[in-house]
Chains A and B, each alone.
Chain A
Amino acid sequence: MDLNYSAEELEFRDEVRAWLGANLPAELREEVESYAHLSKDDLLRWHRILAKKGWVAPAWPREWGGTGWNVVQRYLFEEELGYAGSPPLIPFGLSMCGPVLLRFGSDAQKKRFLPRIYNGEDFWCQGYSEPGSGSDLASLKTSAVRKGDHYVVNGQKIWTTLAHYADWIFCLVRSDSGTSKRQEGISFLLIDMRTPGITVRPLILMDGAHEVNEVFFDDVKVPAENLVFEEGKGWTVAKYLLGYERMNTGRIGESKRQLAYLKRYGEHLMGDTRWRDRLSRLEVELTALEITNLRFLDRMRRTGQPPGADVSMLKIKGTEIQQELTELMMDATDPAASDPLSVAVRKRYLSMRKTTIYAGSNEIQRNIIAKSTLGL
């Protein structure tokens, strides 16, 4: 057992760190650090800088632009991105649609979509949740009826993050409502957001931000070639993707940066034992999670096994820590202050409540562990 990074791993980390130091635009970093709202241009600008360097999709196969890094290198890279204060990489194309196409897409679909995802030419969003179908996703109702060489889609998606930026949406739709098992009639469709019949309506969250939307489909014609995998096999695709979604949610590098900032930001409170104890406990929890994450990665590297329900634990703990960080930050603000940073910090507390709800709520994650790891 050796909890220190090897010389090669450190060299790799330093290379990434040095490159980020030289290539992460200061304006973007400052926006991230002051919790400012990032525009579509900001997000794409950073995406394209990484794409040009060849680092935007490390986990993809090399022939599609992947880096060939092992899991520990990928972890180090993500941690450095977070730690440097870089804008988030929007996951819908790079870590959702991309991996799905790589695994289930036809050659034509791969050639058509992957390079555009890689280069940030298409902005994607995820159309899963519906008003009546959140945790119980398989109850979804948005319908797709095959008519000749296309499907006709009707229904509504909700909570669609950044649909107002998106060029494309990948959707779970019901292509057969007569199956005995609900999971069987579901298909995975790629839909061009400019298709007639699509309406995007903003949903404003409690921090006042426009981040999510409702998306309405009214007789939307989708070419049959945009079906991924087989008709009625969308649930298989969705399940594959859920694992990917949860891999990203530990966000340890980002949390480490927040914690380092919190220590500076709350310095005036360090004489208060109660404050210090809260901070220490949180730091210990984050340290433990970092090591737990590394243990899981080390096991993946040794056994070659894909991540199991263990990632649910990373999701639960990672999001709890992120939320607690925002709570401590808010508590550290001067209650009488109304400067932009104090306001942003308080709003962030509001916003981050979402993390335990989305990407499989933390209750659903506990169900997953109970079922698949503990056999209950």
Chain B
Amino acid sequence: MNFDYNEEQQLLADSVRRYLAKSYDFEARRKIVAAEGWSTDAWKQFAEIGLTGLPLGTDHGGFGGGAVDLIGVMEAFGEALVVEPYVPLVLAARALERGAKSSPLLSSVVEGRARLAFAHTEKGARYALDAVQTRAKESRLSGEKSAVIGAPIAEHFVVSARGEDGIGLYLVDRAATEVKPQRTLDERLAGDVVLREAPAHKLSGGAALLEETVDFATALLCAEAVGALQFACDTTLEYLKTRKQFGVPIGTFQALQHRIVDMYISLEQARSMACLAASRADSAGDARERARAISAAKIRVADAARHVSQEAVQLHGGMGMSEELKISHTFRRLTVLAREYGDVDHHLARYAAL
């Protein structure tokens, strides 16, 4: 048992943090969000640091990393509120690697050239994995995927659809789809993806691959949330020490001290569960063990996201509501993370059923 990062994981997290500190502060991010919603420059840097190759195998020029290798990166992303659709890329590329080993797209992903997104969610399905309505018939997909993160800039989609032999994943070219762009509550690029008999390449792995992919996503989002939680706690603590009312820093009020202590406790409990989720995403004995750990993690992380984000805003007073302060954007991110790939109720039901 140990909780150390190994040297490579540490180096990777450090270089991501260094880059974000230098070029992706809150002001820089604001500009990105106000413009295209993503930065090609940042994307290039991510590829250069090795992030696009991280989750893929050495066959394709990647590093064969798992969720544990990504924890440090995701935490850094959560702290900086990175908007570039990195997680969708990881999910789609991993699924592609597992379901179509020799796809030439994979080495382009590693090099940072190919942009992929993972198109699963549909209106009305909420979080149920098996509620897929999109149909696959003779290698053509019809249906509509909604709120697909990164859709406006994706060149390929990995899409879940229901075929004659059940639910499976398919690779679809963006040109064969219609994408209706939108922004999420937390200012990321997303889009509805309309499929009208779109030609598709079927991946092997079926529904189990879909479930594994979504579990992996959940593990990454837990780590990302931990980064956002850390920021929310730290920035609120700083505010308690500097903001003065009644002639003293508001951090001298015990009513507020105890509340921020509870925020940090939530953070530590969430961090523990994020470690567990990543570890089990990589090395669970079976799918049930993996699913149980990951749902447990999502329950705790989502509870912490709600608790910490709400308290952070409250303890900032009016400033917490202001668009000008980063904390309100962290609030938005945490609100979305708490629900992405399953809210608390969904994971409670899944956890209890396993």
Contacts and interface: CB of A to CB of B under 8 A. Distances in A.
B241 A376 contact: yes
Given A289-B269, A376-B240, 18 more contacts: A1-B4, A1-B71, A3-B279, A277-B352, A287-B276, A288-B272, A291-B276, A295-B268, A295-B272, A317-B265, A363-B258, A366-B261, A369-B264, A370-B257, A370-B258, A370-B260, A376-B241, A376-B251
Interface string B252-277: 10100110111011001111110110
Given A277-B348, A370-B258, A3 B276 contact: yes
Contact of A298 (B1, B241, B270): B1
A1 B299 contact: no
Contacts of A376: 237, 240-241, 251-252, 257, 260
Contact of B261 (A3, A291, A295, A369): A369
Contact of A292 (B1, B237, B268, B279): B268
Contacts of A294: 1, 3
B218 to A, nearest CB: 14
Given A276-B352, A280-B352, A281-B348, A295 B3 contact: yes
B265 A313 contact: yes
A374 B348 contact: no
B43 interface: no
Interface in A278-310: 279-281, 283-285, 287-292, 294-295, 298-299, 302
A273 B252 CA distance: 42
11 contacts: A2-B2, A4-B1, A280-B299, A284-B299, A289-B269, A289-B272, A292-B272, A366-B261, A367-B258, A369-B261, A376-B241
A367 B257 contact: yes
A273 B345 CA distance: 10
Contacts of B348: 276-277, 280-281
Interface in B164-200: none
A3 B265 contact: no
Contact of B1 (A5, A273, A280, A370): A5
Interface in B266-323: 268-273, 275-276, 278-280, 283, 296, 299-300, 303
B257 A313 contact: no
Contact of B269 (A3, A288, A298, A367): A288
B68 interface: yes
A1 B352 contact: no
A101 interface: no
B272 A280 contact: no
Contacts of B251: 376
A373 interface: yes
A148 interface: no
Interface residues of B, number: 42
Contacts of B273: 284, 287-288, 291
Contacts of B296: 280, 283-284, 287
B303 to A, nearest CB: 8
Nearest to B272: A291
A180 interface: no
Interface of A is mostly: helix
A374 B299 contact: no
Contacts of A369: 261, 264
B3 A1 contact: yes
B300 A1 contact: no
Contacts of A291: 272-273, 275-276
Contacts of B5: 1
Contacts of B237: 374, 376
A-B residue pairs, 4 tightest by C-beta: A291-B272, A370-B257, A288-B269, A3-B279
Nearest to A309: B261
A288 B279 CA distance: 14
Among A279, A316, A366, residue most surrounded by chain B Cβ atoms (within 10 Å): A366
A147 B166 CA distance: 90
Contacts of A1: 2-6, 9, 68, 71, 275, 278-279
Contacts of A298: 1-4
A72 B260 CA distance: 30
A370 B264 CA distance: 10
A9 interface: yes
A375 interface: yes
A10 to B, nearest CB: 10
Contacts of B71: 1
A359 to B, nearest CB: 17
B26 interface: no
A338 interface: no
B351 interface: yes
Nearest to A369: B261
Interface in A1-40: 1-6, 9
Contacts of A374: 237, 257, 260-261, 264
A273 B283 CA distance: 30
B300 A285 contact: yes
Nearest to B237: A374
Contacts of B241: 375-376
A277 B268 CA distance: 22
Max chain B Cβ within 10 angstroms of own Cβ: one of A5, A276, A280: A280
B351 A288 contact: no
A280 B351 contact: yes
Interface in B228-265: 237, 240-241, 251-252, 254, 257-258, 260-262, 264-265
B348 to A, nearest CB: 5
Interface string A142-159: 000000000000000000
Given A284-B273, A376-B241, A9 B299 contact: no
Contacts of B299: 280-281, 284
A257 B279 CA distance: 24
A86 B237 CA distance: 42
A280 B352 CA distance: 7
Interface in A128-149: none
Given A280-B348, A292-B269, A376-B251, A3 B1 contact: yes
Nearest to A316: B265
Contacts of A277: 348, 352
A301 to B, nearest CB: 9
Contacts of A287: 272-273, 276, 296
